[in-house]
């Protein structure tokens, strides 16, 4: 267990260490630590009209959607092959939680 903690500590020290700028190759990139990028949950990749439709769908079905970020919305209509030959409306939403 002590070896594991020591390894993790060593890895964190080494991975975030900045190198000497005189010896680093001039590639135009920052050799430092990686920064976490936060994307807000309301940054959707679907159109505003589709956002309204998706929010209405979740509201009608009583599903909380404040933590979801929607990235795809497909809407399609298909007809049944048996009587009474009704047209059905199909809506698919893909989201990250």
Does 84 sit behind a cis peptide bond, omega within 30 degrees of 0 on the bond before it? yes
Q: With contact defined as beta carbons under 8 Å apart, do 69 and 44 qualify?
A: yes
Whole-number Å distance between alpha carbons of 85 and 18: 68
The HSE-up count of residue 51 (CA atoms within 13 Å, CB side) is 12
Q: What is the pTM of this model?
A: 0.51
Look at residue 76 and give its three-state secondary structure.
strand
pLDDT of the chain, 97 residues: tens digit per residue: 667 777 777 766 666 555 555 555 566 666 667 777 777 766 778 888 888 999 999 999 999 988 888 888 999 999 989 888 899 999 999 988 7
């Amino acid at each position: 267990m002590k070896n594991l903690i020591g390894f993790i500590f060593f890895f964190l020290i080494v991975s975030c260490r900045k190198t000497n700028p005189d010896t680093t190759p001039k590639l135009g990139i920052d050799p430092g630590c990686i920064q976490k990028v936060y994307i807000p949950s309301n940054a959707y990749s679907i159109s505003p009209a589709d956002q309204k439709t998706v929010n209405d769908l979740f509201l009608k079905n009583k599903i909380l959607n404040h933590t979801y970020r929607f990235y795809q919305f497909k809407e399609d209509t298909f007809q049944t092959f048996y009587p009474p030959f009704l047209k059905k409306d199909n809506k698919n939403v893909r989201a990250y939680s």
